[in-house]
């Protein structure tokens, strides 16, 4: 096999049957001929979907989840639960999950998490908490490079037996469960909030009360708040310490529930950014900015700072773009870093440079996002200065572009495609990568008037 074909097949390994456009080498995006005006309704949040699926699988009785996201990340999460013997029936965007009360029916098997950080970091605790069982867990090449050791070390201290198949502290590994001891365990917050969420989700099934002590500041801490909220919805109430430095969970069992998931705010952001970039307007139904627990909602505040008007209604958010976006500021991305790439794309068209900071951890996401976005913007002739924890993007006129690389990262592809709202012929390789969270992303861009062509 040629080197290129080999790297293509590695990239595509984590694409699921819910993925689209994997037969396409590239997509080209060009501006709409008319103003971008539209209303959009999006599928459920990836983060809520995978939390709800795992909690429902751990619960006693049958749960129903409506508004499920059908994407690669949720597909692999469901696939793992099915391999564990949990019945998950998906019809349209609804799933019925037959909870197994924390005892997985299949005590052995191979679980494949694809490229999903949520599945990789949320499932090991749920496995370790079971009374017995031996499972191997593997993921995409990139997932095997992403950090997970602090979580697995904590599980080892609490009683799990973990043997690494390749590199110490990484996927793939074999986990032997013997139940989770209670007591105190320390997890770092700087690399990923998902370690804390992963242990929290399993914590009610520990033998005794479990206290998770948090070392350092937590990146994207609102995702931990989201975990606590969903645990409560399923009848378990964790107790965060007043100083926010630890969370205690007493032994309990999740109760089956019927819930409807909120749309994916991270995906909404690309469409709000589209309105911002084109002086158009995009209304998204099914989001309540006042009550959402999804951290990327912060984009709306920054869009206002950039000159947009934002209508935050009951159950909808509409963004109206200005004539010219304002730049000339620094913004901390620490708590909503999935939108760093969206900010970088918008900054190209602002009236002054924008510096995004406090996001060093995104170097360990689907790709090294800081290095990747700088290198792709430079291909357009845009000045992008790379910093250890972020980047500064200077406004410019993007040159007719050489093909851009999506780095097998859905957010790289979605953010770079926004430049196509302003510049003719933005060509991005491997459009299928958006299936990690939004398989129909380019169809939605096209429905809003952008010209989208595949090759
Ligand atoms: O818990 C979650 O659902 C998520 C947490 C964040 O990850 P990190 O805390 O690892 O940065 C975020 O980037 C990811 O898209 C979803
Ligand atoms: C970092 C992300 O995903 P994951 O859940 O794989 O960490 C993301 O969606 O931007």
pLDDT in tens, 378-396: 999 999 999 999 999 999 9
Is the CB–ligand 2 distance for residue 299 below 6 Å? no
Nearest CA to ligand 1 atom 16: 47
Among 406, 58, 370, 73, CA closest to 234:
58
Give mean pLDDT, residues 139-163: 98
Check whether 2 has a pLDDT greater than 90: no
Q: Report CA 452 to chain centroid distance, whole Å.
A: 24
Task: Give the integer Cα–Cα distance in Å for 420 and 427.
Answer: 8
239-273, pLDDT tens digit by residue? 999 999 999 999 999 999 999 999 999 999 999 99
Beta carbons within 10 angstroms of residue 316's beta carbon: 16
Q: Which CATH superfamily is domain 46-258 in?
A: Enolpyruvate transferase domain (3.65.10.10)
- Measure the CA angle with vertex 12, ends 146 and 140; round to 5°: 25
Strands 384-387, 390-393: pairing is antiparallel
- Given a contact cutoff of 8 angstroms between Cβ atoms, the answer to whether 282 and 298 are in contact is no
362-372, pLDDT tens digit by residue? 999 999 999 99
Residue ranges covered by each domain of the chain: 3-42+263-454, 46-258
Note the pLDDT of residue 4: 65
What percent of the chain clears pLDDT 90, i.e. is strictly above it?
Answer: 96
Q: Is 38 annotated as a binding residue?
A: no
Q: Residue 159 corresponds to which tokens in the numbers above?
A: 């009683």
Identical topology for domains 3-42+263-454 and 46-258: yes
Give mean pLDDT, residues 41-56: 98
Is the CB–ligand 2 distance for residue 117 below 6 Å? yes
pLDDT band for position 110 (cuts 50, 70, 90): very high
Note the pLDDT of residue 363: 98
Nearest CA to ligand 1 atom 13: 338
Note the pLDDT of residue 400: 75
Q: Is 103 annotated as a binding residue?
A: no
Check whether 93 has a pLDDT greater than 90: yes
- Given a contact cutoff of 8 angstroms between Cβ atoms, the answer to whether 96 and 63 are in contact is yes
Its CATH architecture, for the domain 3-42+263-454, is: Alpha-beta prism (3.65)
Task: Give the integer Cα–Cα distance in Å for 432 and 440.
Answer: 10
Check whether 5 has a pLDDT greater than 70: no
Note the pLDDT of residue 3: 61
Note the pLDDT of residue 108: 98
Note the pLDDT of residue 9: 72
- Given a contact cutoff of 8 angstroms between Cβ atoms, the answer to whether 22 and 12 are in contact is yes
What percent of the chain clears pLDDT 70, i.e. is strictly above it?
Answer: 98
CB burial of 3-13 (b: ≥16 within 10 Å; e: otherwise) equals eeeeebeebee
Which residues does a 6 A CB cutoff place in the pocket of ligand 1? 47, 117-118, 192-194, 197, 219-220, 223, 338, 361
Give mean pLDDT, residues 430-445: 98
Give mean pLDDT, residues 303-311: 98
Task: Annotate 111-155 with DSSP letters as a single string.
Answer: EE-TT-HHHHHHHHHHHHTSSSEEEEEE--HHHHHS--HHHHHHH
Task: Give the integer Cα–Cα distance in Å for 365 and 372.
Answer: 11
Note the pLDDT of residue 12: 84
Task: Give the integer Cα–Cα distance in Å for 230 and 200.
Answer: 11
Strand partners, 215: 188
CA distance readout (Å), 283 to 161, 207, 286, 310, 379: 50, 48, 10, 10, 32
Cα-trace Rg, the chain: 21
- What dihedral do alpha carbons 359, 154, 112, 341 form, nearest 10°? 0
Q: Rounded to the nearest 5°, which phi and psi values hold at 189?
A: -105, -10
167 is catalytic: no
The mean predicted confidence, pLDDT, of the chain is: 96
| Choice among 72, 222, 264, 338 that is catalytic | 338
Note the pLDDT of residue 336: 98
Greater confidence, 400 or 192?
A: 192
């Amino acid at each position: 096999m040629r080197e290129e074909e080999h790297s293509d097949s590695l990239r595509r390994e984590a694409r699921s049957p819910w993925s689209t456009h994997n037969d396409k080498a590239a997509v080209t995006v060009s501006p709409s001929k008319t103003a971008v005006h539209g209303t959009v309704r999006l599928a459920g949040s990836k983060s809520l979907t995978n939390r709800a699926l795992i909690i429902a699988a751990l619960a006693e009785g049958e749960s129903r989840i409506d508004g499920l996201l059908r994407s690669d990340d949720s597909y692999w999460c469901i696939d793992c639960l099915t391999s564990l013997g949990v019945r998950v029936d998906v019809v349209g965007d609804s799933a019925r999950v037959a909870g197994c009360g924390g005892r997985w029916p299949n005590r052995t098997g191979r679980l494949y998490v694809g490229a999903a950080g949520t599945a990789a970091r949320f499932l090991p605790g749920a496995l370790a908490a079971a009374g017995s069982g031996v499972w191997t867990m593997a993921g995409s090449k990139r997932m095997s490079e992403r950090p997970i050791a602090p979580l697995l070390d904590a599980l080892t201290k609490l009683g799990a037996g973990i043997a690494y198949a390749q590199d110490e502290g990484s996927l793939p590994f074999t986990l032997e469960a013997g139940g989770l001891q209670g007591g105190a365990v320390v997890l770092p917050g700087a690399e990923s909030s998902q370690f804390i969420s992963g242990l929290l989700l399993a914590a009610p099934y520990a033998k005794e009360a479990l206290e998770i002590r948090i070392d350092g500041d937590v990146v994207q801490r609102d995702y931990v708040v989201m975990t606590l909220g969903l645990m409560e919805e399923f009848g378990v109430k964790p107790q965060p310490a007043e100083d926010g430095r630890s969370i205690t969970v007493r032994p309990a069992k999740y109760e089956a529930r019927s819930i409807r998931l909120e749309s994916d705010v991270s995906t909404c952001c690309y469409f709000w950014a589209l309105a911002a970039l084109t002086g158009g307007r995009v209304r998204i139904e099914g989001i309540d900015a006042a009550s959402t627990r999804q951290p990327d909602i912060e984009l709306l505040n920054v869009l206002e700072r950039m000159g947009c008007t934002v209508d935050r209604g009951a159950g909808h958010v509409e963004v109206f773009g200005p004539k010219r976006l304002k730049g000339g500021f620094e913004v901390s991305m620490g708590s909503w870093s999935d939108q760093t790439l969206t900010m970088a794309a918008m900054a190209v068209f602002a009236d002054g440079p924008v510096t995004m900071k406090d996001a060093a951890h995104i170097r360990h996401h689907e790709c090294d996002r800081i290095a990747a976005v700088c290198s792709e913007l430079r291909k357009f002739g845009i000045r992008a200065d790379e910093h250890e924890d972020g980047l500064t993007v200077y406004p410019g006129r993007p040159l007719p572009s050489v093909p851009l690389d999506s780095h097998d990262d859905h957010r790289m592809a979605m953010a770079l495609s926004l430049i196509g709202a302003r510049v003719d012929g933005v060509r991005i390789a491997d459009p299928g990568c958006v299936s990690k969270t939004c398989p129909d992303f380019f169809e939605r861009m096209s429905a809003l008037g952008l010209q989208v062509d595949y090759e």
